[in-house]
């Protein structure tokens, strides 16, 4: 069957796609990091208000993920990506208008944050489902490595860009610049004219489609352990999201500037991880690289709760955990994405991705809300130690799976999925 509709990872079409994705990643990070700060500056939000923003974003994402998966399998995927970008831009443009008119209230900002979180989920799920048909399964390793680099650029540059924009443009215009970034992403997607096959017609109710996606994920001998490991990583991440900055500021006495440098260090590690992942997979095997990426992340994360109180030594420990830990986690994320996209038939990519994200968001929400409870029981340092150990628990499932023996991504297994 000819593959003339595919774009080459080294060609102009993929460069256009990657540029749009990088802009979108930067915009997402500006929204994620910037809106809570804008809430404090413009609306005098309290710590309880900010916890509502974080908690509701997890809840919205876990509800949206399986629905987005069904929608991505029932619809053509590029129009979904464009629609998600346009609606994200519209929500933020409306928020800017309220801010400029002096009408902005906290409930409006909270609603906008939740809507953007839902649209981010739709974009990510549809993007993961669209990629194999865009570049072909033979180029998935190179394509996912490039997307890992784009994500790392967002993680590295987004928070810094957000700070500059808020400092020099103020809160409302920062929100507007974020809306413009989503429109730029939509424009790049509209320049790609690769035809998509018609979506599979599903007559079943959406709840049954969600159930089938979860069941297919859980039955698969490779997808199930990968999903469990990724979900446990999200549980760990939820705890760290709730407690990391508090621990660094109060217990280790680091400055906000030092914390910003640590986040940047993590982004640089992820950038390096995305760049070297394909070569490592070819040399040592995709399965082992994915496995050792998770092992390395868990061990390096233990440096955080083990950091001494001395500020300089603590900063060095946390910087090593951020740089090398994010490098290792990128290797795991790269391998997980390539394997999931390789073994899943095209008609199931949306539901499988949505189901995997559902599990991750459920445990992420548990970690975010449970982190504070654990901190009250046995101190923040102990709670962060539990978080690091949670990320290592996924190894128990991966070691008993086919993953350690996989030199390369296997081909799709249609017989493993219902017709």
Q: What is the CATH number of the domain that holds 177?
A: 1.20.1250.20
For 76, the domain range is: 12-199
Whole-angstrom distance, CA of residue 26 vs CA of residue 334: 19
User: Given the structure tokens 């997980």, which residue do they identify?
Assistant: 336
Confidence at residue 418, expressed as pLDDT on a 0 to 100 scale? 61
Residue 209 · residue 337 · CB < 8 Å = no
Closest listed residue to residue 329, CA positions, set 406, 394, 399, 379: 394
Confidence at residue 2, expressed as pLDDT on a 0 to 100 scale? 44
Whole-angstrom distance, CA of residue 40 vs CA of residue 42: 6
pLDDT, one tens digit per residue, over 296-311 is: 999 999 999 999 988 8
Confidence at residue 321, expressed as pLDDT on a 0 to 100 scale? 94
Quote helix, strand, coil % in the chain, to nearest 5.
Answer: 85, 0, 15
What value does the mean pLDDT take over residues 203-214?
Answer: 75
The answer to whether residue 1 sits within a structural domain is no
The answer on 91 and 23 residing in a single domain is yes
* Band (38; pLDDT cuts 50, 70, 90): confident
Is residue 320's pLDDT more than 90? Answer: yes
The answer to whether residue 412 sits within a structural domain is yes
The answer to whether residue 132 sits within a structural domain is yes
pLDDT, one tens digit per residue, over 49-105 is: 766 776 777 788 888 888 888 888 888 888 899 999 999 999 999 988 988 888 888
Residue 72 · residue 125 · CB < 8 Å = yes
Residue at a domain's end among 151, 178, 199 = 199
176-201 in b/e form (b: 16+ CB < 10 A) is bbbbebbbbbbebbeebeeeeeebee
Instruction: Phi first, then psi: give them for residue 136, nearest 5 degrees.
Output: 90, 150
The answer to whether residue 6 sits within a structural domain is no
The answer on 241 and 227 residing in a single domain is yes
Residue at a domain's end among 173, 199, 225 = 199
Whole-angstrom distance, CA of residue 161 vs CA of residue 142: 28
The answer on 261 and 182 residing in a single domain is no
* Band (393; pLDDT cuts 50, 70, 90): very high
314-344 in b/e form (b: 16+ CB < 10 A) is bbebbbbbbbbbbbbbbbbbbbbbbbbbbbb
The answer on 279 and 332 residing in a single domain is yes
Residue at a domain's end among 153, 169, 199 = 199
The answer on 175 and 229 residing in a single domain is no
The answer to whether residue 2 sits within a structural domain is no
pLDDT, one tens digit per residue, over 229-284 is: 999 998 998 888 777 877 887 788 887 677 777 877 888 898 899 889 989 999 99
The answer on 278 and 138 residing in a single domain is no
The answer to whether residue 153 sits within a structural domain is yes
* Band (381; pLDDT cuts 50, 70, 90): confident
State the pTM of this model.
0.75
Question: If you average pLDDT over each of 146-160, 187-201, 207-221, 253-267, which comes out highest?
Answer: 207-221
The answer on 132 and 96 residing in a single domain is yes
The answer on 94 and 230 residing in a single domain is no
The answer on 364 and 223 residing in a single domain is yes
The answer to whether residue 79 sits within a structural domain is yes
* Band (285; pLDDT cuts 50, 70, 90): very high
The answer to whether residue 253 sits within a structural domain is yes
The answer on 385 and 300 residing in a single domain is yes
Count of Cβ atoms closer than 10 Å to residue 26 Cβ: 24
The answer on 222 and 169 residing in a single domain is no
Closest listed residue to residue 386, CA positions, set 265, 250, 238: 238
* Band (286; pLDDT cuts 50, 70, 90): very high
**Helices in 306-348 by DSSP H: which ranges?**
311-343
pLDDT, one tens digit per residue, over 327-374 is: 999 999 999 988 988 888 877 888 888 888 888 888 887 887 777 677
> How many domains, the chain?
2
The answer on 259 and 111 residing in a single domain is no
């Amino acid at each position: 069957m000819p593959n003339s509709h595919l774009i080459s990872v080294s060609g102009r079409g993929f460069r256009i796609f990657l540029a749009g994705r990088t802009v979108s990643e930067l915009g997402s990070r500006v929204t994620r990091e910037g809106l809570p700060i804008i809430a404090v500056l413009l609306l005098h939000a309290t710590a309880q208000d900010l916890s509502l923003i974080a908690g509701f974003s997890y809840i919205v994402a876990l509800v949206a993920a399986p629905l987005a998966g069904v929608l991505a399998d029932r619809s053509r995927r590029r129009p979904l990506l464009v629609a998600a970008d346009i609606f994200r831009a519209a929500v933020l443009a409306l928020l800017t208008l309220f801010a400029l008119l002096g009408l902005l209230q906290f409930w409006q900002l909270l609603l906008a944050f939740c809507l953007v979180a839902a649209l981010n989920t739709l974009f990510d799920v549809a993007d993961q489902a669209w990629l194999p048909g865009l570049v072909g399964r033979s180029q998935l390793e190179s394509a996912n490595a490039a997307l890992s680099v784009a994500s790392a650029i967002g993680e590295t540059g987004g928070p810094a860009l957000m700070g500059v924009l808020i400092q020099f443009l103020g809160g409302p215009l920062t929100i507007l610049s974020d809306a413009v970034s989503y429109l730029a992403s939509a424009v790049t997607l509209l320049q790609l004219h690769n035809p998509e096959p018609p979506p599979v017609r599903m007559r079943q109710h959406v709840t049954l489609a969600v159930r089938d996606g979860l069941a297919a994920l859980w039955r698969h001998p490779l997808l199930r352990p990968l999903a469990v490991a990724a979900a446990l990583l999200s549980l760990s991440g939820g705890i760290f999201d709730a407690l990391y900055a508090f621990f660094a500021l109060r217990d280790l006495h680091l400055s906000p500037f030092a914390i910003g440098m640590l986040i940047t260090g993590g982004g640089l590690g992820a950038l390096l991880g995305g760049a070297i992942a394909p070569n490592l997979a070819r040399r040592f095997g995709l399965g082992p690289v994915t496995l050792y990426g998770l092992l390395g992340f868990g061990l390096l994360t233990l440096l955080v709760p083990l950091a001494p109180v001395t500020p300089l030594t603590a900063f060095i420990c946390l910087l090593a955990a951020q740089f090398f830990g994010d490098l290792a986690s990128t290797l795991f994320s790269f391998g997980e994405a390539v394997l999931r996209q390789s073994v899943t038939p095209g008609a199931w990519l949306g539901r499988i991705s949505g189901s995997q994200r559902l599990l991750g968001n459920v445990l992420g929400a548990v970690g975010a809300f449970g982190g504070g409870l654990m901190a009250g029981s046995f101190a923040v340092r102990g709670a962060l130690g539990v978080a690091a150990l949670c990320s290592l628990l996924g190894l128990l499932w991966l070691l008993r799976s086919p993953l350690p023996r996989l030199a390369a991504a296997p081909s799709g297994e249609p017989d493993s999925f219902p017709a």
